[in-house]
Amino acid sequence: MKYILFIVLATFSVSLAAQQKQFSKDDSGKFIYYQVVDSQAVAKDTLLQRAKTFVNVLYKKTMKQENVSDSSISAKGTMVIDKTILVAGHPSGEVSYQFVCEVRNGKYRFWLTDLQFIPYQRDRYGNFVATTQIGTPLERTPGKLSAGAWKDILNSTYTKVEKFGAEFKKFMATSRVAVPAKKKPETISTKKW
């Protein structure tokens, strides 16, 4: 009976390990999240405008636009990786990335690459802050002692990047355009001059 239970648990753990998704690697050996999306109903200019709106309006706090051409946009950004224990969680670090989107008539592609992890620690006020400004590339192989923690960081990063990709595709598919906030009209006082 013990052996049957052990075999069932071992099989279950192997199947769970096989289900975990991992990043693909590009030509230079870096991790990359790459997708091509077919969008036949939308023109090239509209797709590019939506991508600019996504970067400059929706993600303006975490992304900074770097380059824009007539068919592409690139930006650098960061995302916070959480460490969750049961229900409570706290940020364990941030991952900086390079985001590129290229558009054509009827389709677009986007990818996130140059993923680098920057660990967080508590400062004397209890806030989580970056320990360094230099990131560690995610493709680095860790030592034996930190292999489990590094695997958790990779899984959390992949989950966040996958969620980011789904949100980008959803935004590109909608016709909603973010409208900038209107300024209140100034009242002119004739008493001061």
| 59 C-beta neighbours (distance < 10 Å), count | 20
Q: What is the pLDDT along the chain (193 residues), one digit of tens a residue?
A: 565 655 555 555 544 444 567 888 878 888 899 999 888 778 888 888 999 999 999 888 989 999 899 889 999 999 998 876 656 677 888 999 999 999 988 889 999 999 999 988 888 888 888 888 888 888 888 777 788 888 888 898 899 999 999 999 999 888 765 555 666 777 777 777 6
- The per-residue pLDDT for 18 is 43
Phi, psi at 21, each rounded to 5°: -85, 150
| 95 contacts 160 by C-beta, under 8 angstroms | yes
What pLDDT is stored for residue 14 in this prediction? Answer: 47
pLDDT at 86: 59
For residue 123, give the amino acid letter: D
Cα torsion 105, 107, 113, 115: sign: positive
What pLDDT does residue 9 have?
A: 53
Considering the domain boundaries, does residue 78 fall inside one?
Answer: yes
Q: What is the DSSP letter of 86?
A: T
What is residue 178's predicted lDDT score, i.e. its pLDDT? 52
Is residue 43 within 8 A of residue 105, CB to CB? The reply is yes
Say if 58 falls within a structural domain: yes
The parent domain of residue 117 ranges over 22-171
Q: Is residue 71 part of a domain?
A: yes
Under a CB-based contact definition with an 8 Å cutoff, are residues 172 and 37 in contact? yes
Q: What's the one-letter identity of residue 161?
A: V
Per-residue model confidence (pLDDT) at position 45: 87
Sequence-distant (6+) residues with CB within 8 A of 105 are 43, 44
Q: Confirm whether 188 is domain-assigned.
A: no
Query: What is the rounded distance in angstroms from the CA atom of residue 57 to the CA atom of residue 177?
Result: 10
The whole-angstrom separation of Cα 149 and Cα 157 is 12
Residue 189 lies in a domain: no
The confidence score (pLDDT) of residue 6 equals 53
pLDDT value for 1: 58
Tokens representing 192 are 């001061």
Which residues, 6+ apart, have CB-to-CB distance to 89 below 8 Å? 82, 83
For the chain, the domain total comes to: 1
CATH of the domain at 38: 3.30.530.80
